[in-house]
Structure 1
Amino acid sequence: MTQHVWLLSPLFTGIFVTLGIILFFQLLVRSLTAHSQKQDKPINYLVGRIWVLSVVYFSALGVYFEYVAARENQDVAFVNFRLLLLSYVIIFLGRRTSIIVIACSLIARLVFWGATLGTLHFLIDAVVMYVLFNFNLFLIRKHQQSQLVLVGVLNFLVGVFWFIFHFVRIHYFGDVPAQQALFYWVSFVIMNHFLYYGLTRLNDENDYLTTLTHQATVDPLTQLKNYAVFEKDFDRVFHESQESGQPLAMVTLDIDYFKRVNDEHGHLAGNQILVEISQMLAGAIRTIPHAHCYRVGGEEFNILLPNKSLEAASDFSYRLQRKVRERTFALKNGTKIKITLSMGVTALKDTDTTPNLLYERADQMLYHSKGEGRDRVTVSESPTSTTTAPPSFKVPDSE
């Protein structure tokens, strides 16, 4: 085997394996966050589903490294991968995740290698490197240094690590000639920089795409889903309900005399009312499975209630309307005002061949409430009824 092949083949293999590992992980993260309308901040790897994904992914990777190293009987060849895995799990995923990954790797080591002297050295090395990496990470963040400084420190520590193994000559590790130690160190430095560049760029892109998705799908003032998302969701749940035969109810609503609020108290007060009403709507549907609320216009909102009958949607609307009516809204200028809602309620019929037919009927119910004096809930006829004139109901104040 020539020096050219000996040097370049393992190095390029390591680089491509390293990039493949982080690329696949970031693709999984992107898939997990792609449809989240709540994510408007940089991705947090330390909580929620992303943390679970991170733990499972990198723990499985640690187990796989031990399995392949044991199968090929090439413990030394996988040291750099282990060090890279440990260092970047600590940097990006925190101490809790790194401890879990180390524990899983140690268990795998015991399973595939047995309780040998090499396993003991593996544990000692992992603990030592864990402490060193965490200590340096603490110093770098304390002094607000660039992560590139941390990359340089890692390169130095691993260089020391390899030349210690060259001079100490641990029995289970075998003989590590100076040339091989130098090669492994240079390989780590190159893979370390590729890994740092790849992770930071992919993280930045993930955060950017997540922010764009949030901005494109969520109303910035109320944090409710916007009209574009409503159109997509409505078309989907409409056809799902048609195919499954499950009920689908829809509620449309308007804030009564909202222009008067803006004219008399200013647009900031109007925005405050929009935000507080939106919070009430979001709270009202929180316990209803698969229910969603959307801001579809200035003071207009739609609520989709899959698997809910017309009667259930009607009861929901009455309760919501009464809750808003009974609340006193305290504006930031000290003024206290009352707000009411006009609402339209309908449900899917056998004759609704397109989503527009259901939507138009819900709108008709809403406009009927507004035309009859506002502060009303108008419910369309029952899906099984042949009545054409929609009855209108007003919730009594004493209810």
Structure 2
Amino acid sequence: MQLIHDFFVNMMIILALLFLYYQFFREENLTPTSSIKRKFLSGLYAGMIGILLMIYSIQVVDSTTIIDLRHIPLLLVTLYGGPLPGMIALIVIQITRFIIGINLSSFVSLGLLTSLYIGYLFFRKWKVSFIAIAFWMIIYSNIAFSIIIVYVLLDIKSLFSEINVLYWITSTVTGAMALYTTEHLRKTNHLFKEYKKSATIDPLTGLNNVRSFDEALNSAIQESTNAEKPLSLLVIDIDHFKHVNDTYGHAAGDTILAQFGKTLRIAARMNDIVSRNGGEEFTILLDNCSNREALAIGEQVRSTIEEISFSINKDISIHITASIGTSTFPETVPFPAQLYREADEALYQAKRSGRNRICSNEKTMKVYEY
């Protein structure tokens, strides 16, 4: 009964710490392409789980023999992260095992963990389903344990049988539950990341959405006021976009919007914040940019849009134009809160003046002269 209790404690430790791990690393799931830092921390965490499992282990024969499920965190971190985190976990677990005591059992542990680690790396290369790989990793772990433990408990065959049966059952059940829990938490974290991204990113263009724009504008205003440096804003609207939708359909309009957003990102400066504020309206937030510089950048954007062709499909391409309004704090607006309103008014001034031009207050031009 005590053996069942101890194995159950090992199972609960693994599942509880898996849950905590995916709360700590919610932003990114561990993969073979993760950063070295992420792999190192994951391997270290898996090693810490292994240490805790040894603390709450099942001791048999004498105080030198420790049996637990420390192979499961090693299996998981190697399966998902590859060789580096697996090696880190193995080193942490085995160093701790030698600290507990240097004896025959500790060297048996070294041999077992090393053989498991090598086997896990071998199974990862199989061209079969992920579930099949995980299944054979667990079976391999159980077989390796049975081979090793028969020598440790050679003189106590009845105890060997009891522990071996319990180990196979608990290792298989815990491994399956750990894998299921891991997959569930990874999917949950992925969805969380996607929901978080969709709250700030326009899904059609990949640019900032209006919520993200508002946050960026407020932050830029605060920084501009504190640092006493100019802040400019371009508000951009595609000319006659309704005609594009009416002529080619809304799917074609979405295609144009996606290409338009990409064009703005290329035409803007590296650190400028490009957003889609809704429909066919876009903005570019220009940090530390005077009104003259904003007009020059806006003209570059306008002329780039006018010159390139936008593909609707492989057979049809069209040319479009855009009107742009700009404002600058403190040059054209006395208060930063007026930045968007003044740029929007300048946009409508550009529309009323014939479109395909950039306007700043009463300054309207089709081609900006440097």
| TM-score tier after normalising by the smaller chain length | 0.7 to 0.9
Is the contact made by 1:109 and 1:119 (CA closer than 8 Å) also made in structure 2?
no
Which of 31, 38, 44 is equivalent to 1:59? 44
Is the contact made by 1:251 and 1:362 (CA closer than 8 Å) also made in structure 2?
yes
The AA in structure 2 aligned to 1:129 is L
- Could you tell me how far 1:298 is from its partner in structure 2? 1.8
| Equivalent position of 1:24 in the other structure | 20
Are 2:196 and 1:213 aligned?
yes
Are 2:323 and 1:342 aligned?
yes
Is the contact made by 2:47 and 2:88 (CA closer than 8 Å) also made in structure 1?
no
| Equivalent position of 1:90 in the other structure | 78
Q: Deviations over 1:86-105 (max 9, x none)?
A: 21123222345434544666
The AA in structure 1 aligned to 2:341 is E
- Could you tell me how far 1:79 is from its partner in structure 2? 5.1
- Could you tell me how far 1:253 is from its partner in structure 2? 0.3
Which structure 2 residues correspond to residues 112-151 of structure 1 after superposition, within 5 A? 122-139=109-126, 141-142=127-128, 144=129, 147=131, 150=133
The AA in structure 1 aligned to 2:204 is L
| Equivalent position of 1:315 in the other structure | 296
Which structure 2 residues correspond to residues 27-46 of structure 1 after superposition, within 5 A? 27-30=23-26, 32=27, 45-46=31-32
- Could you tell me how far 1:196 is from its partner in structure 2? 1.8
What CA distance in whole angstroms lies between the structure 2 residues aligned with 1:271 and 1:57?
41
Q: Deviations over 1:314-355 (max 9, x none)?
A: 3322222222222233542634433222111222348426x4
Q: Deviations over 1:359-386 (max 9, x none)?
A: 1111011111111111212235xxxxxx
Q: Deviations over 1:127-184 (max 9, x none)?
A: 4213333444555x52x4x72x55554443333233323322299xxx9952445554
Which of 22, 33, 38 is equivalent to 1:47? 33
Is the contact made by 1:218 and 1:225 (CA closer than 8 Å) also made in structure 2?
yes
In structure 2, the CA distance between the partners of 1:67 and 1:203, relative to structure 1 (3 Å rule), is closer
| Equivalent position of 1:39 in the other structure | none
Which structure 2 residues correspond to residues 375-394 of structure 1 after superposition, within 5 A? 375-380=356-361, 390-394=362-366
Which segment drifts farther, 60-69 or 89-98? 60-69
Is the contact made by 2:356 and 2:366 (CA closer than 8 Å) also made in structure 1?
yes
In structure 2, the CA distance between the partners of 1:17 and 1:219, relative to structure 1 (3 Å rule), is same
The AA in structure 2 aligned to 1:53 is R
Please give the secondary structure, in 1, of the residue aligned with 2:286.
strand
Is the contact made by 2:209 and 2:275 (CA closer than 8 Å) also made in structure 1?
yes
Q: Percent identity?
A: 22
What CA distance in whole angstroms lies between the structure 2 residues aligned with 1:210 and 1:366?
35
The AA in structure 1 aligned to 2:148 is F
Which structure 2 residues correspond to residues 356-367 of structure 1 after superposition, within 5 A? 357-367=338-348
What CA distance in whole angstroms lies between the structure 1 residues aligned with 2:104 and 2:232?
67
The AA in structure 2 aligned to 1:343 is I
What CA distance in whole angstroms lies between the structure 1 residues aligned with 2:198 and 2:51?
43
Which of 130, 137, 151 is equivalent to 1:168? 151
What CA distance in whole angstroms lies between the structure 2 residues aligned with 1:170 and 1:177?
7
In structure 2, the CA distance between the partners of 1:193 and 1:268, relative to structure 1 (3 Å rule), is closer
Are 2:240 and 1:257 aligned?
yes
| Equivalent position of 2:187 in the other structure | 204
Which of 251, 255, 258 is equivalent to 1:275? 258
Which structure 2 residues correspond to residues 154-193 of structure 1 after superposition, within 5 A? 154-169=137-152, 177-178=159-160, 179-193=162-176
Q: TM-score, normalised by structure 2?
A: 0.79
| Equivalent position of 1:306 in the other structure | 287
Please give the secondary structure, in 2, of the residue aligned with 1:80.
coil
The AA in structure 2 aligned to 1:125 is L
Instruction: Structure 2 unaligned segments of length 5 or more: list them.
Output: none
What CA distance in whole angstroms lies between the structure 2 residues aligned with 1:68 and 1:192?
14
Is the contact made by 2:32 and 2:81 (CA closer than 8 Å) also made in structure 1?
yes
Is the contact made by 1:66 and 1:109 (CA closer than 8 Å) also made in structure 2?
yes
What CA distance in whole angstroms lies between the structure 2 residues aligned with 1:249 and 1:116?
71
What CA distance in whole angstroms lies between the structure 1 residues aligned with 2:65 and 2:212?
53
Please give the secondary structure, in 2, of the residue aligned with 1:296.
strand
What CA distance in whole angstroms lies between the structure 2 residues aligned with 1:195 and 1:23?
10
The AA in structure 1 aligned to 2:172 is V
- Could you tell me how far 1:207 is from its partner in structure 2? 2.4
Number of residue pairs aligned between Structure 1 and Structure 2: 361
Which of 75, 80, 101 is equivalent to 2:69? 80
What CA distance in whole angstroms lies between the structure 1 residues aligned with 2:74 and 2:64?
16
The AA in structure 2 aligned to 1:130 is Y
Q: TM-score, normalised by structure 1?
A: 0.74
What CA distance in whole angstroms lies between the structure 2 residues aligned with 1:204 and 1:101?
24
In structure 2, the CA distance between the partners of 1:78 and 1:366, relative to structure 1 (3 Å rule), is farther
Which of 333, 352, 365 is equivalent to 1:371? 352
- Could you tell me how far 1:301 is from its partner in structure 2? 0.3
What CA distance in whole angstroms lies between the structure 2 residues aligned with 1:284 and 1:176?
77
Please give the secondary structure, in 2, of the residue aligned with 1:231.
helix
| Equivalent position of 1:38 in the other structure | none
How big is the alpha-carbon RMSD for the aligned residues of Structure 1 and Structure 2? 3.9
